[in-house]
Structure formats: structure tokens, C-alpha cells
Amino acid sequence: MPERMQGAFKVALAMVIAGWASMALGWSDTKWALFSVAFCFLNTGGETLAKGLMRLAGTVIGVVLSLTFLALFAQDRWAYAAAVSIWLFICGWFLSGNSRIWYTWFVGAFLVILMTEYSQLDSRAAFDIAMVRLQQTMLGIGIYTLVEILIFPASTRDQFKADLAARIAQVGRIFPSLADAFLSAPEDATKPEDIRDLRQSVTQLRIMLGARLDGAAVDSFDILENYGAWRDAVLELEALIEGLLNWRLGFANLQQDEIQPLAAGLAAVHDEISRRLQVAGDLLGGAASFEPARDIPIPSARPRRAGEDPFALAALEVSLGALAEIERASRALLFAVAEGQGMAPGERPPRRPHQEPPASIIPDPERLAIALRVPVTFLCAFAIFIYFPNLPAVSTVLVLAAQMPLSICRMPTAPVKVVAIMGMAMMLLGAGLHIFVLPHLTSYTQLAAVLFLVSFAITYLFYEPHLATARTLGFGMTVILLQLDNNQTYNFLFTANMVVGFLVPFALLWLTAMLPVSFRAEHAFRRLFRRYLGSFLWLLNWMTRDRGVRESWWQRQLRNYHLRSINAILPWLSNWLQVIPDSMLPKEGRGRMQDLLTTMAAMSQRITRVDMISRSAGFHESHANMLPEIAQWRDELIRICRTLRDSPDTLTPDPQDGTGAELARITALAHEILRRFGAQFSDDDSRDLLRELAALRGLTRAVTSLVPPASGIDWTRLNDARL
């Protein structure tokens, strides 16, 4: 039986059993047991159980906070609303990030709103409601876990290992082409789609593979026993991919006459790295033995001769440094995989160095805006709940007005119109069953058949992970409208009121789409593009600081914030690009804008490298002497970046119209610095200054490379208003 059909069958069977058990026990609100089954379903048992435990933890947190808020603020409804809004904002903040326990935050926030609706701000009734909800949640999670164990069990351990092996195989497939480009080809022959896949793999490793590892640890003792080794394997694979991307950046600056003397040693390094990747994949495939990583030295660049242009050697040294990190990561990856498989690979290699900048207390403005949308929408709905109590299904308005923004925190790019259409379609399905089918059923056997068919169909149609929102809406709307209970009642007015109550939250969501900032795709893309360049400009200005003066605590927070921003904004831009309407795109389509993001990714890597080199280099007297020239160099880059940020429509890729002339001036400045201060680079102690100068030239190339794709975009379309 195909995996899709197996998953649908298990969910449908668990829904039937959970509904029967809840009704047989005489518990009220059977829908909460059904929700626990439907919403915790994932493709493997371990992931499902892990999500179920997060739902249970969120339920406990929500119950405790609900009772606390009601005890403190039951007599002052607006004080209660303010307390709930603060909690919703906190949950929205964590939901908008990459929290591994995001579902706990979602359920914890959602349950507080449910308690507001069900208890009617009565603290005495709230406890009984909380206990029923907790019982139903535990029942649903327990029943689905048993079904998952007994029927078509899917091992999260095997899926995790298969995913990890697929990522390693992807790197092993791309690495030889990068190695060939490094050794012999001045032009990189690597396919652009392969590089895009590598960049996407970094994000997927942090989120998807990490979550799958957590699920595997739940349903497999050997994964739990060696959890640290498997976590190291994921981190080292991420470091390996980042090393490959950094290594590739310097290819354009290399000269083959400098590489050829090292070709034999480099080829041996490349062969050993490829062998390690192959062995790691074989271990994940079940190999019983393996050959550990062999020690192999990275060749060194020859000393620079007097009067020689040091740029080529500096580029080679940077590339060899990146290759050394790739070699270290591949060795550590093989060790971690072998350790996870229970083998004794020998002495542990050095762990991955800390790559990301330290945390900053300055919050991400985009996440603040997304999180703030949740309490704003809730307060609007709460005002309706208080001042218009006779509105049809007013309690549904309150619940959905919090639940929908919370869901959007996880996927802020989801179009409100599309979600509304899907929700309405699922609501019509539930209404049709409630009005035309359920009144004719005379036993639970008949009801079970209907519930099984509906659950099977929804899961089968929306089985893929990217359709999780549609699946959630399908089960949510259908189960609410079925109103399963031992004393079943049918009321057309209830269904009609639910439809009206469903439309009001979407109207509120549409109104808050412009608060506190616009969440339309084209506006969000332009806003984030400007913010990216703003952070980039700050870092450019920071380059010419006096390194003899220790940076203050606040300056360090600002630097960390902007370094994080130039890396965090790129995934946001990529996500928003996918949902920009075709009418707002340039004539060349999304391809031109994707080229823009690819170039921006290179800029982020370049300026991060400049910062790392400058901080590790320490202070030299030559820095003070070079500052005027570097400042002039920086000013040229700032002029280009400000034009890109403020008026990109004025840009042109034609060198005759200014961009080429600016690049020529910047290059001339670089050679002037070398001419005047070249003697200072003859000592080994000043080699880091040379590396920094080479990194600055690479940064210049990256910035000027942004002009052609940016000049080909019709930016006025992204600013046009639309209904």
C-alpha cells in the first residue's frame, strides 16, 4: 500500500476510535480528541508522538495561564484582554522564528483564547473545562500512538537516516565539480540550481532534519542513546555546506599559475574528502565496517616575492583556508555518523567552530511586526465579543481571530484570500454533512463510516507537508460543524451562524494586513530589500572604525544585529518572492529577482568574511595609515548601495553610464593602497592585513555584481497599489 494511503488510513482509523472512546466514556466536547489526532499527524510515528507531547505541554501551559489570568483579572475584562495580548505576542514571537517547540507555543496561546470563550470569564467553570480538554487531548494522542505502533508502523529513525544520507549524497555529487573548477577551470561550471539547493539545504538542516531527529529520539532508543553524535552529524553537515559555499566565492579571484604547483596535493585532498562522504553514506545505508578518515595535509601557498601583486596569493590563501574547514567538517561528519552507528572511530576530531555572531538584544523588526499582528487582531475581535454579544457565532469570531494570526506567524507569506477560500470550502463540506447526512444516521457504526471516509479523504488529498494548512482547515471546519456528541442535535441556524462567524475573522485579518506594516508580498519584498541594504551600509561604515579603541557594549550589539540581519533577511525575501503576484513581477519573471537574491547571498558571505578577518586580525599600526584610502574605497561602495536602496530605478548595467567607472575607481584605489603600503605586508605578522584587503576586493565585486539584476527589475510595479 502506498505511503500516502497508509497515512490516510491510520488517521481515519484513529479518528473513529477516538470519537467512539470519548463518547463511550461520556465525555463532552468529543471534537478535542479528534483534533488531537488530526493536528498531531505527521509522516512518521516518532514525529507524531513528539508533536503530540508538544501539544500536551502546550495544553498544560495554556490551562495554568488561563486560570491565572481569570483569577487575577476576571473582574476587569480589559485588563484580562491586555494580559492575554501580551501572552499572544510572546507566543507569536517564538512562532515566527525557528523554535523547535513551536507547536507548544501555538497550543499554549490558542488554549487561552478557548478558555476565554468557553468560560465566559467565569473562573469557576474554567477549571472543569480545562480538565475536559486535557483528558481529550491525552486520549487522542494515546489512541493515535497505538494505531501508529500497531498498523503500518513507520520508523522515524530510518527516515532520519535516509534524509541525512540524501543530503550527504547531494554534497558528494556537487563537490567534484567544485573541485574541478578550483583546480583547472577559471569559470565555475557548477550548475546554478545545485548552488541554490546547497543554500536551501542549510535552512532545511536547521529546521526539518533537526525536527526529524527529535522525532527519531522519541521512537528509537539507539537514536536517543547517541543523540549527541547525531546532532553533531547534522551540525557538521551544515558546516560542510557553508564551507563549500565560502570556498566557491573565491574562485573568480584565483590564478591558475598559482594553483598548478599545488595540484597534486590538492587532488589528494579532494579524493579523500569525496571518499569520506561516500563512506558516511555507506554507514547510513547499513555498512558493518568502515575505514576512518585518513590524515592528509592541506598544501600551503608559497611565500610572496618582493614587489609582487599580493592579491592572487591572498585569494589562494583564503581558498585554502576554506578548503581546510571543508576537510575538518568532512572528518568530523564521518566521525559523528560512525559514532551514531555505535562504532568506535578513534580520536574525536575538532568540533565545528562557532560560526554565527553572538546574540543581540535588538529584536528582529520583521518578527516584531508579525508577532504584533496577533494581539492587534485579537483585541479587535475582543471588542466585538464584548460590545456586540448578539452577533452570530461571536465566540467563534474570538477564537478564529486569534488562531488564524497564530497560524500565519508560522507562514506569514500565506495569502489571506487563498486561506479564506480553502476554509470556506471545508466549511461548506462540514455544513453539508451536518445538514444532509448526519440526521439520517441511526448508529455509531454509520457515523464511524462517514467519519472514516471524510478523514481519509482530507488526509489523502492534503497529505504532503506543504499542504498542512489546508489539512488543518479541513479537519478544523469539518469537526466543528459535525458537533459530535452522545445527545446529537441538528440546527440549520447553527451552521449559518458559523459561516457568518467564519467570515468576520478573515475581514479582521485583511484589515490588519497593513498593521503595523504592510504584509502584501510586493511591499514586504521591497521593505526587506531596503532593510537589507540599510544593514549592509551600517557594516560598511563600521569597516573604517579606529581599531585601537575597544568597541562598546552597545556597538557590539549593533554589529551583531546587522550581521544577523543580512543573513536572516534572505530567507524572508525568498519566501515572499514565491507569492508575489505575476502582475507585479518584471517582464523577465521571477528568474531576474532570483538572480538578485543569489547575488545578495554572496554579498552577505563576503561582508561576514570581512568582519571575521578584521576582528581576528587585531590592531596594527598600518590600519591607521590605510584608513583614508579604505574610507575612500568604502565611500564608493556606499554610493552604489544607497542608490540601490533609495532609487534602484536609476541604475543601469551599462559600464559607460557610471557603474563600470565606479568599479574601475575602486580597483584603482586597491592598487594605490598596495603601492603605498605594500612593504608592510612582507612580514608574516601582517599577512592578516593582506587577507583583509583581498576580502575587501571580493566584497567590491559582489556589490557591483548586484547592479545588473537590480537594474533589470521594474521597481515601480512593486510600489503600485492593488485591491
Q: Which residue has the higher pLDDT, 450 or 215?
A: 450
Query: What average pLDDT does the segment 453-479 reach?
Result: 85
Q: Are residues 96 and 78 in the same domain?
A: yes
Q: Are residues 588 and 659 in the same domain?
A: yes
Q: How confident is the model at residue 657 (pLDDT cuts 50, 70, 90)?
A: very low
Q: Which residue has the higher pLDDT, 4 or 681?
A: 4
Q: What is the domain range of residue 63?
A: 3-154+362-514
Query: What average pLDDT does the segment 205-213 reach?
Result: 76
| pLDDT of 474 over the 80 cut | yes
Average pLDDT of the chain is 80
CA distance 170 to 419: 34
pLDDT at res. 82: 94
For residue 291, give the nearest of 282, 304, 303, 300 by alpha carbon: 282
Q: Using an 8 Å Cβ cutoff, are 214 and 141 in contact?
A: no
Mean pLDDT comparison of 54-63, 153-162, 312-321, highest-scoring range: 54-63
Measured at the CA of 298, the angle between CA 296 and CA 302, to 5 degrees, comes to: 140
Q: Are residues 602 and 668 in the same domain?
A: yes
The total of other beta-carbon atoms located within 10 Å of residue 313's CB is: 22
Least confident of 297-311, 385-399, 700-714: 297-311
CA distance 329 to 528: 33
Give DSSP secondary structure letters for 38-107.
HHH--SSHHHHHHHHHHHHHHHHHHHHHHHHHHHHHTT-HHHHHHHHHHHHHHHHHHHTTT-TTHHHHHH
- When divided into structural domains, the chain yields a total of 3
Give DSSP secondary structure letters for 399-434.
HHHHHHHHHHHH-TTS-HHHHHHHHHHHHHHHHHII
pLDDT at res. 277: 93
Task: Output the domain CATH number for residue 527.
Answer: 1.20.58.220
| pLDDT of 159 over the 60 cut | yes
* Per-residue pLDDT reduced to its tens digit, 489-504: 777 888 888 877 778 8
Q: How confident is the model at residue 538 (pLDDT cuts 50, 70, 90)?
A: very high
Going by C-beta distance under 8 Å and a sequence separation of 6 or more, which residues neighbour residue 204?
none
* Residue 355 within a domain: no
For residue 566, give the nearest of 599, 517, 520, 524 by alpha carbon: 599
* Residue 350 within a domain: no
pLDDT at res. 109: 92
Q: Are residues 376 and 485 in the same domain?
A: yes
* Per-residue pLDDT reduced to its tens digit, 551-609: 888 988 999 999 999 988 988 898 888 888 877 776 666 777 888 888 888 888 888 87
* Residue 399 within a domain: yes
The total of other beta-carbon atoms located within 10 Å of residue 492's CB is: 10
Q: Are residues 489 and 608 in the same domain?
A: no
* Residue 455 within a domain: yes
Q: Are residues 580 and 452 in the same domain?
A: no
* End-of-domain residue from the set 279, 306, 340: 340
Query: What average pLDDT does the segment 704-722 reach?
Result: 75
| pLDDT of 93 over the 90 cut | yes
Q: Are residues 398 and 485 in the same domain?
A: yes
* Residue 368 within a domain: yes
Q: Are residues 144 and 180 in the same domain?
A: no
| Amino acid found at 644 | L
Give DSSP secondary structure letters for 552-598.
PHHHHHHHHHHHHHHHHHHHHHHHHHHHS-GGGS-TTTHHHHHHHHH
* Per-residue pLDDT reduced to its tens digit, 16-53: 999 999 988 888 778 888 988 888 777 667 777 788 88
CA distance 132 to 627: 69
* End-of-domain residue from the set 455, 485, 514: 514
Least confident of 46-55, 199-208, 260-269: 199-208
* Per-residue pLDDT reduced to its tens digit, 435-446: 888 888 888 889
* Residue 347 within a domain: no
For residue 415, give the nearest of 513, 517, 527, 514 by alpha carbon: 513
Going by C-beta distance under 8 Å and a sequence separation of 6 or more, which residues neighbour residue 700?
633, 637, 663, 666, 667, 670
Q: Are residues 377 and 495 in the same domain?
A: yes
* End-of-domain residue from the set 514, 532, 553: 514
CA distance 378 to 213: 35
* Residue 333 within a domain: yes
Q: Are residues 182 and 146 in the same domain?
A: no
pLDDT at res. 128: 75
Q: Using an 8 Å Cβ cutoff, are 132 and 32 in contact?
A: yes
Q: Are residues 113 and 237 in the same domain?
A: no
Name the DSSP class of 453.
H
pLDDT at res. 451: 92
* Per-residue pLDDT reduced to its tens digit, 240-255: 988 888 888 777 667 7
pLDDT at res. 133: 78
Q: Are residues 472 and 543 in the same domain?
A: no
pLDDT at res. 658: 43
* Residue 346 within a domain: no
